[in-house]
Amino acid sequence: MLKVYRENKLMKNILVLCRGNSCRSQIAHGYLNYFAFKKAKVYSAGIETHGVNPRAIAAMQEDGIDIKTHTSNLIAEYKHIDFDYIISVCDHVKSHCSIRFSSSAVRIHQHFRDPSAVKGNNRKIHEAFEVTRLGIKHFCRAFVKQYL
């Protein structure tokens, strides 16, 4: 039992936040799970819930990462967890989040454009998801390298 406790203490708790917990935070959640492999427990949430966007699921599947079982959660569901890192991936959450977490959590903000807000034909929307996914992928890889 002691060994399990020590292993769990080494794992970091990471919360990724965006407005609706449907695209950007879900993509980051998927990449952080992948890059942090067994070094962290990753959660994602929003100040609203919009459901996981099917285009985000498809974009991640194109890169070999499965997020189709993810759920869209409200930030209040996780206020009892002691997070090591809280990452906001949109400016709206950075300025409108009223939930307070442990003061010891390292807060990191990196805004990514919301691909679900892009209007146009399917090609234009798909490109927006690819661009956002790639930016989040690079950010998550660098985060894991620096902090974990």
- Known catalytic residues are 18, 90, 97
Q: What is the DSSP string of 37-72?
A: TTSEEEEEEESS-----HHHHHHHHHTT---TT---
Cite the DSSP H helix spans in the chain.
2-10, 24-35, 54-62, 91-96, 122-147
CB 29 within 8 A of CB 43: yes
